[in-house]
Structure 1
Amino acid sequence: MERKSPALFAKGLVTFCLVVGPFLLIGLFLNTANVSELFTEFAHLVFGNPGAVTPVTLYWDSIPTLFIISVGGMALVSIINDITAVTIGSPKTIPEIRELLTGPPLKTLVSFVIVIVIEELVFRGFFLGVLPLLLTGTTALYLLVLASNTIFGYAHIFNYRGNTRILKFLPFFLVSFVIAFVFLKYGLVACFLVHLFHNLLATANARLYIKFFGMHPNLT
C-alpha cells in the first residue's frame, strides 16, 4: 500500500471536477428545495435526532436536489479517501471491482441496478422502514441508522484487498448517513436514485481518469 502522491491527487481532482461539476451546476440551477434546511436536518440526523428530518413526497422536481445530495455524498467519500491515501495509503480494489469499473457500460449499469436494489431494500428498506415498526422512538431509529451504516460500511470493505481495507470502512459508514437521510426525507425510490447516481459518477470518474492518465494505481 503506497501513499498517494501530490501528482496523483491533482489528476484525481481534475477528473472529479470534470465529472461532478456539471451535475452539481445542474442541480443548483434547477433545485427547488432549501439546501440550508436540508443540511440542518442532515446534521440533526448525524448527531442523533432523526426525528428532525421532515418527510416530503418525491416528485420530478426533486431530482435536481438528489443530484446535489449525490455529489455531496461523493465529495464526502473522496475527501476522506484522499486524506487517508495521502497520510497512510490506500488499499487496492479487488479484480471484480476493476472489471466492473472498466468493463462494458451496459454490463456495469445492469450490475449496479441489481446490487443497488438489493442493498437499498436491506439497508434502508428493512433497517429503516420495517424494523422501526417494531422498535419505535427516536433513539431506536437512530440506533437502527447506526446499525445499518455499520453493516453497510463493513460489507463494502471487501471490495478491497489486504488487511488495510479496513481503512475504507469510515467513508462508507459516513456516506450511509447521506442515504439514510434520503430515505427518511424522500423515501426508498429516492435512495435507489441517489445510490445509482453516486455509483455512475464514480464509474465515470474512474473511466475518465483511465482515458486521460492511464490505469489508476488502486485498480492495478
Structure 2
Amino acid sequence: MSQLSDFHRERIRAILDVSVLMPVITIKHPDEAVPLCQALFDGGIRVMEITLRTEHGAKAIKDVRAALPDAWVGAGTVTCLAQYRQAEAAGAQFIITPGITESLLEFSLTSEAPLLPGISTASELMLGYCLGYREFKFFPADVAGGIPALKAFRGPFPDVTFCPTGGIRRDTAGDYLVLSNVQTVGGSWLTPEELVTNKDWAGIECLAAASLSDLSC
C-alpha cells in the first residue's frame, strides 16, 4: 500500500506552522477575491483557504496566487476528484476536504497539491492514518464534539495534529489553540459578509490583525 511522502507531510506542516488562523473564504463576486485576500494578508494572515463552494473559487485561487506570491493559497470544500484536479490546475498549493473518501486520500499521495483531509470521527481518521496522514482538519468542529472530542483524540492518536474548523468564533479560537494537538484554527468570522459586501477592506484588515492579537496575549 502506498504511503504519504515526506514532501506532502512537510508541506502541510509548513502551512500549519505559518499562521494560527486560516480564513475560510467563499468568493461570491470574482472582483472581490484579490482585495479581500490582500486585506487579510496585510492584517497578518499568511494562509488562505478559498473554497470551491461557488463557481468563482478556482479563478479566485489563480488570481490570488498571482497577486500574493508570499501567501499560501489553497482550495477548500473539495469533495471529489474532479474538483481536486480543478484546484490543482488553478495553482492551489494545498487542498482541504470537509470529509474523506479512499479515492481522495489515494489521489493526493501523488498530487503536487498535498491534502489536509477532513474528519469528524476516529474511524475516518484511521483511514487516513493508515496511509501516513498525521495532519487533519476536524470538521464541523463545534457540532462534532469540539474541544472535548479533540482532547479524546489525543489518547489513541498522540502524533496527530488538527486544524479544527466549523462553528469556531473569534472568542473561542483561543480555547482550541491551547490544546496540544491543535496547530491552526479555521474560520469564516475573518470574512464577515457585511464587510465583504461593503468592500470594507480596511475593516477586514483590522479584524484579521485584532484576531491575531487576541491570540498573542
TM-score between both structures, scaled by the size of structure 1: 0.25
**Hey, which of these two has a bigger chunk of strand by percent?**
2
Structure with higher Rg: it is: 1
Q: If each structure's helix is expressed as a fraction of its own residues, which one has the higher value?
A: 1
TM-score, normalised to structure 2's length? Answer: 0.25
Q: Which has the higher contact order (CA 8 A, sep 6+)?
A: 1
